Amino acid sequence: MTINEILLILAIGFIAGIASGSFGIGGGIIIVPALVFIIGFEIHKAQGTSLAMMLAPIMALAVWNYHRSGNVDFRVAGIMIVAFVIGSYLGSKYAILLPANVLRKSFGILMLLVALKLILSK
Protein backbone atom coordinates (compact mmCIF):
# COMPACT_ATOMS: atom_id res chain seq x y z
CA MET A 1 0.00 0.00 0.00
CA THR A 2 1.24 3.49 -0.81
CA ILE A 3 1.16 6.39 1.64
CA ASN A 4 -1.54 8.04 -0.49
CA GLU A 5 -3.73 4.91 -0.28
CA ILE A 6 -3.23 4.77 3.48
CA LEU A 7 -4.13 8.46 3.85
CA LEU A 8 -7.22 7.99 1.67
CA ILE A 9 -8.34 4.99 3.73
CA LEU A 10 -7.74 6.98 6.93
CA ALA A 11 -9.86 9.83 5.54
CA ILE A 12 -12.69 7.44 4.64
CA GLY A 13 -12.54 5.91 8.13
CA PHE A 14 -12.53 9.35 9.78
CA ILE A 15 -15.51 10.60 7.75
CA ALA A 16 -17.39 7.37 8.43
CA GLY A 17 -16.59 7.73 12.14
CA ILE A 18 -17.97 11.28 12.20
CA ALA A 19 -21.12 10.14 10.36
CA SER A 20 -21.51 7.11 12.60
CA GLY A 21 -21.15 9.11 15.79
CA SER A 22 -23.45 11.86 14.49
CA PHE A 23 -26.13 9.92 12.64
CA GLY A 24 -25.64 6.25 13.57
CA ILE A 25 -24.50 5.44 10.02
CA GLY A 26 -21.19 4.65 8.42
CA GLY A 27 -20.58 1.18 7.05
CA GLY A 28 -23.24 0.86 4.43
CA ILE A 29 -23.74 4.44 3.47
CA ILE A 30 -20.17 5.73 3.52
CA ILE A 31 -17.55 3.00 3.79
CA VAL A 32 -18.90 0.52 1.24
CA PRO A 33 -19.45 3.11 -1.53
CA ALA A 34 -16.09 4.76 -0.77
CA LEU A 35 -14.25 1.46 -0.96
CA VAL A 36 -15.97 0.64 -4.26
CA PHE A 37 -15.78 4.02 -6.00
CA ILE A 38 -12.63 5.56 -4.53
CA ILE A 39 -10.43 2.59 -3.60
CA GLY A 40 -11.70 0.33 -6.39
CA PHE A 41 -12.82 -2.65 -4.31
CA GLU A 42 -15.30 -5.17 -5.69
CA ILE A 43 -18.63 -4.88 -3.82
CA HIS A 44 -18.26 -8.16 -1.90
CA LYS A 45 -14.80 -7.19 -0.65
CA ALA A 46 -16.04 -3.71 0.31
CA GLN A 47 -18.90 -5.15 2.35
CA GLY A 48 -16.69 -7.71 4.07
CA THR A 49 -14.08 -5.09 4.88
CA SER A 50 -16.71 -2.70 6.24
CA LEU A 51 -18.15 -5.41 8.47
CA ALA A 52 -14.68 -6.35 9.71
CA MET A 53 -13.87 -2.83 10.86
CA MET A 54 -17.24 -2.29 12.53
CA LEU A 55 -16.55 -4.75 15.33
CA ALA A 56 -17.79 -3.78 18.78
CA PRO A 57 -14.65 -2.00 20.13
CA ILE A 58 -14.81 0.53 17.29
CA MET A 59 -18.23 1.78 18.36
CA ALA A 60 -17.60 1.72 22.13
CA LEU A 61 -16.73 5.41 22.50
CA ALA A 62 -19.71 6.61 20.48
CA VAL A 63 -22.03 4.35 22.48
CA TRP A 64 -20.51 5.63 25.70
CA ASN A 65 -21.24 9.25 24.71
CA TYR A 66 -24.85 8.44 23.82
CA HIS A 67 -25.25 6.41 27.05
CA ARG A 68 -23.93 9.28 29.17
CA SER A 69 -26.63 11.52 27.73
CA GLY A 70 -29.34 8.92 28.39
CA ASN A 71 -29.85 7.94 24.77
CA VAL A 72 -29.15 4.19 24.78
CA ASP A 73 -31.61 1.43 25.65
CA PHE A 74 -29.33 -1.53 26.35
CA ARG A 75 -32.26 -3.95 26.72
CA VAL A 76 -33.48 -3.19 23.20
CA ALA A 77 -29.91 -3.27 21.88
CA GLY A 78 -29.29 -6.64 23.53
CA ILE A 79 -32.41 -8.17 21.99
CA MET A 80 -31.50 -6.76 18.57
CA ILE A 81 -27.95 -8.13 18.85
CA VAL A 82 -29.29 -11.69 18.95
CA ALA A 83 -31.36 -11.18 15.80
CA PHE A 84 -28.58 -9.14 14.17
CA VAL A 85 -25.98 -11.89 14.66
CA ILE A 86 -28.26 -14.47 13.04
CA GLY A 87 -29.38 -12.07 10.30
CA SER A 88 -25.87 -10.90 9.46
CA TYR A 89 -24.67 -14.50 9.19
CA LEU A 90 -27.53 -15.48 6.89
CA GLY A 91 -27.33 -12.22 4.93
CA SER A 92 -23.61 -12.62 4.32
CA LYS A 93 -24.08 -16.22 3.14
CA TYR A 94 -26.73 -15.01 0.67
CA ALA A 95 -24.81 -11.92 -0.49
CA ILE A 96 -21.71 -13.96 -1.29
CA LEU A 97 -23.78 -16.03 -3.72
CA LEU A 98 -25.12 -12.99 -5.62
CA PRO A 99 -23.34 -11.68 -8.70
CA ALA A 100 -21.57 -8.37 -7.96
CA ASN A 101 -23.79 -6.34 -10.30
CA VAL A 102 -26.98 -7.65 -8.65
CA LEU A 103 -25.62 -6.94 -5.16
CA ARG A 104 -24.46 -3.44 -6.16
CA LYS A 105 -27.84 -2.56 -7.71
CA SER A 106 -29.78 -4.00 -4.76
CA PHE A 107 -27.64 -1.98 -2.37
CA GLY A 108 -28.23 1.17 -4.43
CA ILE A 109 -31.99 0.63 -4.47
CA LEU A 110 -32.01 0.15 -0.70
CA MET A 111 -30.05 3.39 -0.19
CA LEU A 112 -32.39 5.23 -2.56
CA LEU A 113 -35.50 3.99 -0.73
CA VAL A 114 -34.07 4.97 2.65
CA ALA A 115 -33.10 8.40 1.30
CA LEU A 116 -36.57 8.98 -0.13
CA LYS A 117 -38.20 7.93 3.15
CA LEU A 118 -35.98 10.34 5.10
CA ILE A 119 -36.59 13.20 2.66
CA LEU A 120 -40.33 12.73 2.27
CA SER A 121 -41.34 11.86 5.84
CA LYS A 122 -42.75 14.51 8.13
CA 100 remoteness from chain centre: 18
Q: What is the pLDDT along the chain (122 residues), one digit of tens a residue?
A: 899 999 999 998 888 887 777 666 777 888 889 999 999 999 899 888 888 887 777 778 888 889 999 999 999 888 888 888 898 889 889 888 999 999 889 988 988 998 999 899 88
Structure confidence at residue 71 (pLDDT): 92
Count of alpha carbons within 13 angstroms of residue 32, beta-carbon side: 18
Smallest CA-to-CA distance from 111 within 59, 10, 11, 37 is with: 37
CA distance 117 to 89: 27
Radius of gyration (C-alpha) of the chain in whole angstroms: 16
CA 80 remoteness from chain centre: 16
